[in-house]
Amino acid sequence: MNCPEVQSRLSAFYDDQISDDVRSRIDAHLHSCADCASVFGDYQALTDFVQHTPTPEPSPKLWDRIDEQLTVSRAIQAKSPTAKSPTAKSPVAKPVARPAGVRRRVVVFSPLVAAVMVILAVGISLSTAQRDKHQFKGLAGEFNEYLAAYAENPAAAVAGLFAEYPAEEVGFDEAKRRVGYRPVVANSLPDGYSINSIQLMKMPCCDCIKTVCLNDQGLPFLIFEHDLEQAAWFGNRASRRCNCGGMPATVIDLDGQIAVTWKLGKRSVTIIGETDVDEVATLMPFLGKEPANG
């Protein structure tokens, strides 16, 4: 399949609304074409953003503002010379009562009130989106500091990445109790690899599990487990799709290092600090499956 054919079917591919044969052909194309993989990544990022964008709470004074606007509008209409003939009585505007249990009732509003509410809702949503965009921009900036520090002191760089967010050291069982899953390192690691610490972190996006590991050369790397596939963490850095040890994944190049993200059940796993895909492929038999409870 060529790129136009693949991209015209990506929506159906993402929603699992195509045949197994076409799915296999598209999947093969995505593993060999960085451009189409990037477009597919946009589908994933948009879905994750929408699913995890919090529903904004309306202001406690929202109804008061709507009531005020409605009263002003009626007053203007009553004074308008074209509204009624000079001899006709102007209607008396009835006060608008605040509906009891407003959150539990379906209320039909006038076009004016509906328009006011839409404007307010759009303003709240844009504010929320700008806030999240700002948060992710800050996270991306942290990686630049991390990369600059890693060359001089890898251990300090790893320990300092996202250190300003609240973190608590936990074990396998406590992590599962708090976030609903056991860390992937509960499967064990390859010979020569070891676990330095497991931390529960409160990030802007969600509660994450951060595991600091040492590879067979004694160099540290990080494993994050979180709700979103956080391509936004890495700003505008180039990304590509690959097959790491049989697991479809997204790879982000980080100036001599890589970050690799893949889906595991309902969460995403991200490795930061390894130097090539082959190293990650060595880890995949251990990290690419759900840990047992034992």
Task: State the pLDDT at residue 104.
Answer: 40
* Mean of pLDDT over the chain: 74
Strand partners, 114: none
Of 121-125, 160-164, 176-180, give the lowest mean pLDDT range.
121-125
Distance between CA atoms of 81 and 125, rounded to whole angstroms? 39
Domains contained in the chain, CATH given: 154-287 (3.30.200.100)
103, two tokens: 């959150």
Q: What integer is the mean pLDDT of 249-257?
A: 83
237, two tokens: 């850095």
Q: What is the pTM of this model?
A: 0.54
Q: Is 188 left (phi over 0), alpha (psi -120 to 50) or beta?
A: left
Distance between CA atoms of 250 and 254, rounded to whole angstroms? 13
Residue 205: C-alpha distances to residues 52, 132, 133, 159 (Å): 8, 8, 11, 20
Q: What integer is the mean pLDDT of 237-253?
A: 85
Q: What integer is the mean pLDDT of 164-172?
A: 87
- pLDDT tens, residue by residue, 60-115: 777 777 877 777 777 776 766 555 544 545 454 455 455 444 444 344 444 444 54
- pLDDT tens, residue by residue, 120-143: 444 444 444 444 444 444 566 677
Please tell me which residue, 62 or 257, carries the higher pLDDT value.
Answer: 257
- pLDDT tens, residue by residue, 4-59: 888 888 878 887 777 888 888 888 888 888 888 878 877 777 776 666 666 666 67
Strand partners, 198: 211
